[in-house]
Amino acid sequence: MLAAGVPAVMARQGAGCAVASVAVVKIVMATDMKSITGTRDHSYSVKWVKNGSDVILLILRGQSKQRLLFTSSGSDCRLLSILQRRRKKKEKMRPKIYIFGDSITEESFGGGGWGALLAHHFSRTADVVLRGYSGYNTRWALKVLDKVFPAADGSDDAPLVITIFFGANDACLPDRCSAFQHVPLHEYKQNLHSIISTFKKRWPETQILLISPPPIDEDARLKFPYVENPMGMPERTNEAAGAYAKACVSVAVECGFPVVDLWTKMQRFPDWGKACLRDGLHLTQGGNRIVFDEVIMKLRDVGLSLESLPVDLPLISDIDPSNPLKSFEN
């Protein structure tokens, strides 16, 4: 009920408003914002809003957020309006595809990079979000996971896909110049499992796609060392990269997720060391194209393609030239 001196207010149906009842809210008219002294039904929320010389009481009722607006000028209380506004269903933003990995991912938004190709491919259906960290291994990736990816907030904004592309740095040899990046093979597998587990707990419906490390051209690595190399020996070998690629494929099989076996795929191409790799490790445009084609194929295999994803807004071909704005009404 209303406090003494505050008239009950009803709206006329002829004015396009439903009859309003505020019996569940007890109000004492006052000038400060803490003027609600009584209890209220759990489905209502109440707050005061200042509007010039008026103090407006805003009552939000239930999930439909029916708004009952009252204004006070001195002791006078009159109904401004009663608006039945069903909360619009939150417009779902474009789904996100996160690409998570080391320098081969970080560089992928450059000209001809596989990430840029992916963003272009899904330009009207999904946002490709880059999370690439040059030099990182799975141990470091696991350490920073919560800083890199948003916490689940209970909404339906889970990523559509996350690609996990680590292993090239884990596979650095423990007795060579990049030993600080080395992660033992058994730990590499455990780290991949932990990264996947974190994502699946956070976003159970998100599709995970693993990508193995690429092959290594050892001669080219000697020409392009990342750090000083007094030993004169490559910090990576193709044999070691192959072992980590095999472990990556094994983890994907164990978890039931698709995987791009890049180490095997690239070596099927003639002169792959020069055709696919620009420095024995990082990708040429041809190498990037292989990654892109493989990712698109694997996503299609699990039902994710341009044909299965809706565009966010009408295509120009769908807009009626005689009434263009009609296409934006829904």
Catalytic annotation present for 54: no
Q: Please, which residues have CB within 8 angstroms of residue 231's CB and are 6 or more apart in sequence?
A: 176, 177
Q: Please, which residues have CB within 8 angstroms of residue 67's CB and are 6 or more apart in sequence?
A: 58, 59, 60, 61, 82, 83, 84, 85
Pick the catalytic residue from 72, 102, 103, 170: 103
CA dist 222 and 240 (Å) reads 16
DSSP H or E stretch at residue 145: helix 138-148
Which among 101, 243, 92 has a CA at the least distance from the CA of 157?
A: 92
Collapsed DSSP state (helix, strand, coil) of residue 288: helix
CA dist 83 and 80 (Å) reads 10
Pick the catalytic residue from 279, 293, 305, 327: 279
Q: In what order do the strands lie in the sheet with 96-101?
A: 127-132, 96-101, 161-165, 207-211, 259-260
Are 55 and 48 contacting, i.e. CB atoms less than 8 angstroms apart?
yes
Catalytic annotation present for 293: no
Catalytic annotation present for 279: yes
Question: Which long-range CB contacts under 8 A does 145-148 form with residues at least 24 apart?
Answer: 145/195, 145/198, 148/100
**To which residue do tokens 């000038």 refer?**
31
Are 244 and 264 contacting, i.e. CB atoms less than 8 angstroms apart?
no
Which among 241, 267, 230 has a CA at the least distance from the CA of 173?
A: 241
Are 36 and 25 contacting, i.e. CB atoms less than 8 angstroms apart?
yes
**To which residue do tokens 């740095």 refer?**
169
Cα angle, residue 11 at apex, residues 10 and 14 outer, rounded to 5°: 145
Pick the catalytic residue from 121, 178, 182, 282: 282
Catalytic residue list? 103, 279, 282
